[in-house]
Amino acid sequence: MAEQGLRILLDQNVPVAVADWLRRQRTQWQINHVAELGFAGRPDEFLYRWAQEYGSIIITFDEHFADARTHPLGRHHGIVRLPVWPTTIEATIDALRRLLSKVPEGDWRGALIVVDNQKIRIRKP
């Protein structure tokens, strides 16, 4: 039996166009964007709890999601932080394209992955 694809929650600071692009790249994944769920303006802790309840990996520009004191490894389904600059659709897609090509899907689960304009860093529980 084939492994079920990842569940992804894109934070409200990630452009919706990135969600559309990611859906075309990974049709087997369940990809949600905060704005499409009607959660725009909701606090990050609400989004974090929602992601945990639905088994989703969070993709965000927000630095605090990478803070192990508030979001310890092993207690979430995965966080992808994108400290890319500029925070354009193109730069964001470029970072995610590198991530998709270099990091197997199984390595995303439960990990903290930081993808900037140059490199990819992965911390696993």
Over residues 31-35, the mean pLDDT reads 98
**Domain residue spans in the chain?**
7-123
Tokens of 35: 């704005």
Buried b (16+ CB within 10 A) or exposed e, 92-107: bbebbebbeeebeeee
Q: What is the mean pLDDT of the chain?
A: 95
What is this structure's pTM?
0.95
Spatial separation of the C-alpha atoms in residues 116 and 49, rounded to whole Å: 25
- pLDDT score recorded for residue 3: 53
CATH architecture of 7-123: 3-Layer(aba) Sandwich (3.40)
Task: Write down the pLDDT at residue 1.
Answer: 35
Predicted confidence band of residue 2 (pLDDT cuts 50, 70, 90): very low
pLDDT digits (tens, 9 = 90+) for 39-71: 999 999 999 999 999 999 999 999 999 998 999
| pLDDT tens for each residue of 59-107 | 999 999 999 899 999 999 999 999 999 999 999 999 999 999 999 999 9
Tokens of 4: 């079920």
